[in-house]
Amino acid sequence: MRAYRGIVQDGRVVLEPGVRLPEGAVVTVTVGEGELLRATLRAALRRNARRRSRGRRWVPVLTARGRPV
């Protein structure tokens, strides 16, 4: 068994330059404790613009008599 170093970018494993794996190779990714903890904290602290909450717009609700509530 051989070990290759790489990092995860955008959900994909990027190996160091010059590393070539044969097509169809079965691989196992092992994450070290320190790297897992660091990545978890970074993801928790990073702001995500798509998930940020937006303020609600309040529109008056009209009753049967036509007056706002």
pLDDT tens digits for range 8-66:
888 888 888 998 888 888 888 877 788 778 878 887 777 666 666 666 777 777 666 65
12: tokens are 């994909």
5 Cβ partners below 8 Å, 6+ apart?
15, 16
For 7, the 3-state DSSP assignment is: strand
Cα–Cα distance measured from residue 44 to residue 46, given in angstroms and rounded to the nearest whole number? 6
Distance CA 59, CA 68 (A): 9
Residue 68's pLDDT band (boundaries 50, 70, 90)? low
Return the pLDDT at 67.
60
